Amino acid sequence: MDKPQKIKLLIGNEEACIKEYTKNGPDGLAQFLGMDRNGAMFKDIMLYFAFEKDLIFKCAIENMETIQQIFVAIGPSEMRKLMGIEDSAFDVCFESIFDIIGLGLRSFYKYTVSHKEELSAILFEKGPEALRAQLCIIGEKYDNLWEAVMDLILNEFTKKKFEERTLSHQEKFAKLMPKLQKYIRGIL
């Protein structure tokens, strides 16, 4: 008996499991099956549903507006965790969802623009690889997207530094002005 057949026997009613995942996500499915979400067997079940039944992709497409809102609010890596597909075994599954919802519907752009300060902090505190992992844009396929993100973040960083410097110069000029006025009055 192969692994998919064993999983079918273990889970019993596939439709009930699919409804549970769709309604309550991976935590609900794990509870429904009486399993630990972090266990190896649950991972096998999620792989079965992801690749044999295409459940995760179908769920994302059927709930596209909600998934898009979640993507913009919490970002791609947190969305992966929420969907229960954070393991690298689900990369292909997530990539197809990311390409449609993140890129096709511009959710990735909306997320990066609305969280650019937070992303900038990650870049300067943890480095570029940590930021790429946070944004789920690892690999050559996403190099052009990475360049665009870097442009956005560096633009935000230089704008912030320019504003800080301008404010600093204004404060110094404000302190210097009374002294300058006294000097000018003394000459005239």
pLDDT of amino acid 53: 86
In a domain, 44, yes or no: yes
Burial category of 7 from C-beta neighbours within 10 Å (exposed 0-12, middle 13-18, buried 19 and up): middle
Cα–Cα distance for residue pair 9/12, rounded to 1 Å: 5
In a domain, 48, yes or no: yes
Please state the domain count of the chain.
1
In a domain, 6, yes or no: yes
In a domain, 27, yes or no: yes
In a domain, 171, yes or no: no
Contacts of 33 (CB under 8 A, 6+ apart): 11, 17, 42, 45
pLDDT of amino acid 134: 94
pLDDT reading at 44 higher than 70: yes
Q: What are the backbone angles phi and psi of residue 24, rounded to the nearest 5°?
A: -125, 5
DSSP secondary structure string, 19-48?
A: HHHHHHHHHHHHHHHT--TTSHHHHHHHHI
Helix axes 116-126, 107-114, angle to 10 degrees: 80
Strands (E), 48-116: none
Q: Which residue has the higher pLDDT, 7 or 67?
A: 67
Query: What confidence tens digit (pLDDT) does each residue in 70-129 have?
Result: 999 999 999 999 999 999 999 999 999 999 999 999 999 999 999 998 999 998 899 999
Q: Sorting pLDDT into bands at 50, 70 and 90, what band is 158? A: confident
Q: Sorting pLDDT into bands at 50, 70 and 90, what band is 3? A: low
**SS3 of residue 87 by DSSP:** coil
In a domain, 84, yes or no: no
In a domain, 113, yes or no: no
The 10 Å CB-count burial string (b at 16+, else e) for 163-172 is: eeeeeeeeee
Model-level pTM?
0.76
Q: Sorting pLDDT into bands at 50, 70 and 90, what band is 1? A: low
Q: Which residue has the higher pLDDT, 153 or 163?
A: 153
Strands (E), 12-168: none
In a domain, 137, yes or no: no
Domain that includes residue 48, residue range: 1-53
